[in-house]
Amino acid sequence: MKIANKVEMLEISGAAGMVNLTLAWDDDSLVLMDTGFPGQTNDIVRAINAAGLSAEKITHIILTHQDIDHVGCAKELLKLSPGAQIMAHAEEVPYINGEKTPIKFAAMFEHYDSLTADQKNWCEQLKQTFPRLAISVSRTLSDGEVLSVCGGIEVIHTPGHTPGHICLFLRGSRILVTGDALNVLDGKLMGPNPQYTFDMELGLCSVEKAKKFPFNAVVSYHGGYLEIT
């Protein structure tokens, strides 16, 4: 779905629902923001092709945070475009590269005995899957940093959902890529989902921080595209 000049929202559907990746490009760069669930590589490649581009030309993969539905296909996509830079906030790096157990996964194991049978099954699947997804981050990002690609991509540190969660402000198109820091529900811009946010108070502060940017539209990872009028 084209949402601005040289900006596409890639709508990738799966058993766990729709996720919305963002793709931006210029003459020299092709930037993918987040990478879906494990097993969605082919769907992502097809969506990139449908936009008239090629996954082999990806130059930057920016991960808004550590969760499995955001890092899921990074390793596979890097095989297609081995020169791409993997980028994330410094606080997310040890979880993405496998040094630490992702926060929500670790919390599940802390309460393993109280989980339902289905939750325990999911936990065991995660235990097997996460180590296979580990990938080295080639460049760490910091709050306020502006990447000089695609008209300028500004990094906004928005902790709460996870400690190193980031939003991305596309200066050229004035689009805010929110990851899971903000959501779109029933045509309204909302804060993070409390069920999946490790520090809701911090998350709400991040919402206010992000809202100060002069965006005209947002891409919410689970809520999709919303124009701000």
Given this model, what pLDDT does residue 128 score?
84
Cβ-Cβ contacts under 8 Å for 173 (sequence gap 6 or more): 3, 4, 5, 7, 24, 151, 216, 217
Beta bridge partners of 155: 168
Could you give the number of structural domains in the chain?
1
In DSSP notation, 36-101 reads -STT-HHHHHHHHHHTT--GGG--EEE-S-S-HHHHTTHHHHHHHSTTPEEEEEGGGHHHHTTSS-
113 falls within a domain: no
CATH number at residue 19: 3.60.15.10
Given this model, what pLDDT does residue 42 score?
97
124 falls within a domain: no
122 falls within a domain: no
What span, in angstroms and rounded, lies between the C-alpha atoms of 92 and 163?
7
Residue-wise pLDDT for 66-97, tens only, equals 999 999 999 999 999 999 999 999 999 999 99
Residue-wise pLDDT for 133-142, tens only, equals 999 999 999 9
Q: Which of 142, 21, 162 is nearest to 87 (CA)?
A: 142
105 falls within a domain: no
Residue-wise pLDDT for 198-228, tens only, equals 899 999 999 999 999 999 999 999 999 999 9
What's the domain range around 19? 2-100+134-224
Six token digits for residue 12: 């990738």
What span, in angstroms and rounded, lies between the C-alpha atoms of 99 and 110?
18
Mean pLDDT along residues 159-167: 97
Please say if the pLDDT value at position 163 is more than 80: yes
118 falls within a domain: no
117 falls within a domain: no
165 falls within a domain: yes
Residue-wise pLDDT for 33-67, tens only, equals 999 999 999 999 999 999 999 999 999 999 999 99
Positive or negative torsion for Cα 44, 168, 131, 16: negative
229 falls within a domain: no
Mean pLDDT along residues 143-157: 98
pTM above 0.85, yes or no: yes
